[in-house]
Amino acid sequence: MSLAVAAGVERAGGTGSGVRWAEWQLALPLLLAFLAFFVGPLLILVVVSAFGDEKITLVNFAMWRKFLNDPFYWKVTGNTVKLGFLTVAATLLVGYPLALVYLAARPGVQRLLLFIVILPLLTSVVVRTFAWIVILGREGVVNSVAMGLGLVPAPLRLLQTELGLVIALTQIEMPLMLLPVLSVMNRIDPNLLDASEALGASKWRTLFRVTLPLSLPGLVAGCVLVFASSTTAFISQSIIGGNRLVYLTLLIWQESLVVYNWPLASVAALTLLISVTAAIAAISLLGRRGMRHLHA
């Protein structure tokens, strides 16, 4: 009897190992692609950043010292991170009320709102960015309406400013904020909201004690996506911001394709990767702490 059981366990273990190896075989092409197109170029960046500008064969980390000792590069890095957080804040302020409208709407209206959210993704980001030039220009829609209503005596300067860039990025990145939030809100049981109101909670208390904690995972995911996308949005930063606003993406482009200083471009690219990763980790940590605090 014990021999039969042992044989059965051995066969089961062998079968389980075979299934796991089959799963690894299925994942092997994706793993190889990840190594070839992400890990490989990342290692090349690390190696190139260690060389100097003039003596490309000398490993002296001169570009790292130049980057870290120059206040200009620190300012560019800070402005890049600041742009990401400003865009996240703007998309939150505009997007979450829209998500609440979606939650309270009828199923037919919800499908219409979801289509409106997805619609910008069907248009190229280049087209959407150039459309904002028409809207924010000196003779654009915003200035024409403001001057027509007598709100301003002269056209506002919105292009090549941080404010104009944040406004444009808020609309461009809005689907990345709303889609995770709407996905989470779709799974909220309406009976929980009804129970909160039946127990005497006001709409605001229901919002902060029920709706917000249940939708917080979607908010954290949306903030991460918006931050990562807005800080690396080279097209929008270049077209709306111009050369007056220098961010790490523009610095990487100038150093690699204009000046041909590949070591410094590699240092800037790695700095962008490190800063974005650190900010995303901070957002995720704050989200986890917020969820623990709200559920406490």
The per-residue pLDDT for range 155-172, each reduced to its tens digit, is: 888 888 899 999 999 999
| CA gap 130, 195 in Å, rounded | 48
pLDDT of 292 above 70: yes
| pLDDT tens-digit readout, 210-232 | 888 888 999 999 999 999 999 99
Amino acid identity of residue 7, one-letter, is A
More confident site: 201 or 165 = 165
**What is the per-residue pLDDT for 76?**
94
Three-point CA angle 256, 262, 264, nearest 5°: 95
**What is the per-residue pLDDT for 209?**
84
Q: Which two tokens stand for residue 210?
A: 């029920």
Q: pLDDT band for position 269 (50/70/90)?
A: very high
**What is the per-residue pLDDT for 185?**
87
DSSP reduced 3-state for 59: strand
**pTM, full prediction:** 0.84
Q: In terms of Cα–Cα distance, which of 211, 101, 227 is closest to 176?
A: 227
Average pLDDT over residues 136-164: 84
pLDDT of 92 above 90: yes
